[in-house]
Structure 1
Amino acid sequence: MSNIVYVLTNPSIPDIVKIGMTTDLTTRMRSLYNSSVPVPFECYFACTVEDMSFVERQLHDGFDDFRVNPKREFFRVDPERVVSILKMVIQLKKRVKILSIRMVK
């Protein structure tokens, strides 16, 4: 079982990404494709991590100002920006104990 953090996009929802975690990406993407979206989500980036809860929480906290809805995992942000921060969080976590990361607009 893998710990996966993912960045998903959907052509029907431009400029919005979903940042989440799962142990089964295929099943997770399938579950998101329901009657509320006209086309399936696409995996922009996904990686296995040691502590998926920590990494996801850092991304959610860091991009909190870009949330579309405070109770959902959708953010109005360039997916490439999320990927670059995700990679930095993973590298930093390997080197130091991270307490939190906060993105500034």
Structure 2
Amino acid sequence: MPGLIKIGKTRRDSRSRARELYKTGVPTPYQVAFELFCDNHARTESEIHDRLSDFRINSNREFFRYPLDKAISLLQSMGNSSFEEDTFAAIDITKDLMSKYSHWMKTDVVSVRIVQPLDRVWLEITQEKEIAGYLVDQIVNRTDLGFITGGKGEKDLYFSPGNPISKNAEKFINEFDPYSIINTTDLFHDEGANEVNEKYNPHRA
């Protein structure tokens, strides 16, 4: 629903839960834009609902008319203040990547996320494979982006766990060029990777 965000908790996979909720009669499918994983999820949910109470559409519903980026920043600050070692976050970048690279991306990629615990940054790619016409396997691959540096030394990580996850997501979408993508990820199909190499390889004669 344009202009509205839903903020709630679940003990299960959030994307599966979003698909279930879509069957309850909402006009458009839910898109999970951000996740925060922590032990005190009930307290965190209650706190952010209190903080955003003025923007709540209905006291019996978890819908808010509030900017998504500001809601993510608020959740991040609340997660950081908890100091829980097992707290980590995930932000979905599929839509942004598809809008830029749909002609190059593998057709079986259904989700791309930046996943960030306290000490590392992962790129998570989910692919689906249909089997026998009625089964669907999901392959989830997480690549540690700690091997990518900013060119000023090994300790200068391009995607630093010290950055907010929103900054690392924005860098991957808007600053990480296509040639870097084909050399560090498996997002693009072979023809797309070859085309990127032809266009953007700085070492080609």
TM class by shorter-chain length?
Answer: 0.7 to 0.9
Determine the structure 2 residue equivalent to 1:86: 75
Choose between structure 1 and 2 for higher RCO, CA contacts under 8 A separated by at least 6 residues.
1
Among the aligned pairs, what percent are the same residue?
A: 33
TM-score of the superposition, structure 2-length normalised? 0.38
Q: Larger C-alpha radius of gyration, 1 or 2? A: 2
Q: What's the CA shift string for 1:15-53, capped at 9, x where partnerless?
A: 100000001113311221125223210011012112100
Alpha-carbon distance, 1:75 to partner: 0.3
Q: Structure 2: which amino acid aligns with 1:16?
A: L
TM-score of the superposition, structure 1-length normalised? 0.72
Determine the structure 2 residue equivalent to 1:20: 8
Q: What's the CA shift string for 1:53-102, capped at 9, x where partnerless?
A: 0111111000000000011100000111111000101111229xxxxxxx
Which is further off, 26-35 or 55-64? 26-35
Segments of 4+ moved more than 2 angstroms: none
Question: What value does the CA root-mean-square deviation take over the aligned residues?
Answer: 1.5
Q: Structure 1: which amino acid aligns with 2:27?
A: P
Q: What SS does the corresponding residue of 1:32 show, helix, strand or coil?
A: helix
5+ residue gaps, structure 1, are 1-12, 96-105
Determine the structure 2 residue equivalent to 1:63: 52
Count of paired positions: 83
Distance 1:37 1:70 in 2: 18
1:36 maps to 2:25: yes
Q: Structure 2: which amino acid aligns with 1:39?
A: T
Determine the structure 2 residue equivalent to 1:5: none
Asked whether the equivalents of residues 36 and 79 of structure 2 are also in contact (C-alpha less than 8 Å), the reply is no
